[in-house]
Structure 1
């Protein structure tokens, strides 16, 4: 079975599996293919992942929605089938770029839903130019929509994404938060703190912001190798991919708000200084072909996701630190 057929088969499963965890299968199949896996490896990963995660079918439809009623399903996981059907139809009618320009501005403030994984699915659909996956991703995004405090209450006051994270780490109310099993639960809890409300407005967005966000996410992950921080690095890649088709400053703003809400989960980190980062870049490190082969052989979806995103971000930004963190993630260097 080829990649197209595997992705189509994966689409028959729900976007989440018990207990509200993100189904990475269709995205990881694409990442495996782009990392050099062949059909046999992709099919084997499908079988292993489905069994290990206990994937479930898409829930039954509830009621049809249309352009006037689609917002009624926001945040309602029971409406996954209805949302998928509506958005797939909208992509068919408007095209990928047209559907994104129509709906992404309304969906962007809920990007934290399902721990950013609707954004991931959308990015991989955009990468392949796959209308069915783009429609499915938009439906997933809608039914898992997680609103955080809205933007627009105050003017931005910094162009440094790292400064945003440092200020969030200093918010006293976040220190009392418990640990959470799900990243999106942690995001929701941090965002509910009254002191967190203005965070969304702090970052000034301009043409250089995507590169600054990517560099900060890379430094954050390099310094911590933390699971939540991994999603900052990969998420910056996903935003960049989607923004090529539909540039929306609010998507980047709300993405970084979501990353900021993960500061407690990451352990209130301090970003490393430039000297530390330069030293990390100079570490002896395998070349990409070995890193990619190691990721392809892994059954850990986050190994594969991180290595693919890091390799793509190095192409975009030229920073060799991406190769170092990818090698560390798959255990090739300490």
Structure 2
């Protein structure tokens, strides 16, 4: 009997007794990591991993004032209202289908993808993926409300509007990105450097974003691949933070099937802007060889990530396995990127 969905639900319900952040702004990765672990055949390790991880977490923040259809704009981006936002989306899901709610709120939340180092959109991507692949139930729908609430509370615009209108592929645009002057910064302080970084905006706008939805899906898939392989060479700039250049667009890619197709092109453009920003802030300027993965099977790489224990390593391995599965035979660079994350990220980070 398949009990993996039950394991996921039990883990999500445990995690919903904790807030979305801890220690003054670190993101609670638990819901994202356990979804990846269950989906990649590591359900048996979920509760043991969570027993350790949950020791870091803090309680759910106190509610403040009820959010309504009339006053939500004033609460957007207010991290102190995260519990109010979760309650709002929970109420909404009691009245309407989750896909309908997603379609309405995606256009409102997407411009704020940069908030909390893109963790909210990543959490939404994992929540949507489980709803699409495992199905709807109370725990997974509740996680969707928590994920949307976190994004609404941490909504943050990049300091420069990005409108990609060029002809470059994701790999070409990513390779041409400059780096900010001071990379030893928080994401917010890094974002602030982007407008003054010569060539960042023009390079970011050089990407080609097609109109055809299927071409958009292919382009977004290529972006996830390019960002994953870029980590193999440049992840030593910041082993933890650079993973989000791949995991954030991958979250958008996984959400596409649940969105109206007319929203796909804008989703690609915004996902690219986020990946570009994180790369410019945290990627090393010069490449360094990644570990050889020629003899490693994908399931072994993911098992090693779970044994390593770090939540970022687990999430990045999940993305890398998806890239590897879509790669041509013999191409192990995505798995090398995942092994690089294990080498770069300390267990206690």
TM class by shorter-chain length? 0.7 to 0.9
What RMSD in Å do the two structures reach over aligned CA positions?
A: 2.8
Per-residue deviation, residues 229-248 of structure 1 (Å, max 9, x unmatched): 32222223211101121143
* CA pair 6-67 structure 1, distance change in 2 beyond 3 A: same
| Structure 1 SS opposite 2:93 | helix
Per the alignment, residue 17 of structure 2 pairs with 12
Unaligned 5+ residue runs, structure 2? 1-5, 132-139, 344-349
Per the alignment, residue 100 of structure 1 pairs with 102
Per the alignment, residue 241 of structure 1 pairs with 254
Where do 1:1-334 residues align within 5 Å?
2-39=7-44, 41-51=45-55, 53=56, 55-129=57-131, 130-149=140-159, 151=161, 156-165=165-174, 168-169=177-178, 174-175=180-181, 177=182, 179-180=184-185, 182=186, 184-191=187-194, 193=196, 201-206=205-210, 207=215, 208-226=218-236, 227=239, 228-246=241-259, 247-262=263-278, 263-268=280-285, 284-318=294-328, 320-330=332-342
* CA pair 282-28 structure 1, distance change in 2 beyond 3 A: closer
Shift of 1:254: 1.9
* CA pair 151-124 structure 1, distance change in 2 beyond 3 A: same
Q: Structure 2 CA distance, aligned partners of 1:74 and 1:320?
A: 42
Q: Structure 2 CA distance, aligned partners of 1:191 and 1:87?
A: 33
* CA pair 7-155 structure 1, distance change in 2 beyond 3 A: closer
Shift of 1:7: 0.6
Shift of 1:108: 0.7
* CA pair 165-289 structure 1, distance change in 2 beyond 3 A: closer
Aligned length: 314
Q: Structure 1 CA distance, aligned partners of 2:340 and 2:282?
A: 21
Q: Structure 2 CA distance, aligned partners of 1:116 and 1:256?
A: 12
Shift of 1:205: 1.1
Shift of 1:187: 4.1
Shift of 1:149: 3.9
Shift of 1:125: 0.6
Q: Structure 2 CA distance, aligned partners of 1:166 and 1:230?
A: 16
Q: Structure 1 CA distance, aligned partners of 2:23 and 2:164?
A: 41
Deviates more, 1:103-112 or 1:320-329: 320-329
Q: Structure 2 CA distance, aligned partners of 1:199 and 1:85?
A: 40
Q: Structure 1 CA distance, aligned partners of 2:164 and 2:149?
A: 32
Per-residue deviation, residues 163-212 of structure 1 (Å, max 9, x unmatched): 44455417xxx32x3511x3x32443234538656666442312142133
Give the TM-score, by structure 2 length: 0.80
Per-residue deviation, residues 74-118 of structure 1 (Å, max 9, x unmatched): 221100011111122223433222111101111111101111111
Shift of 1:155: 6.4
| Structure 2 SS opposite 1:93 | coil
Q: Structure 1 CA distance, aligned partners of 2:269 and 2:11?
A: 34
Give the TM-score, by structure 1 length: 0.83
Q: Structure 2 CA distance, aligned partners of 1:237 and 1:245?
A: 14
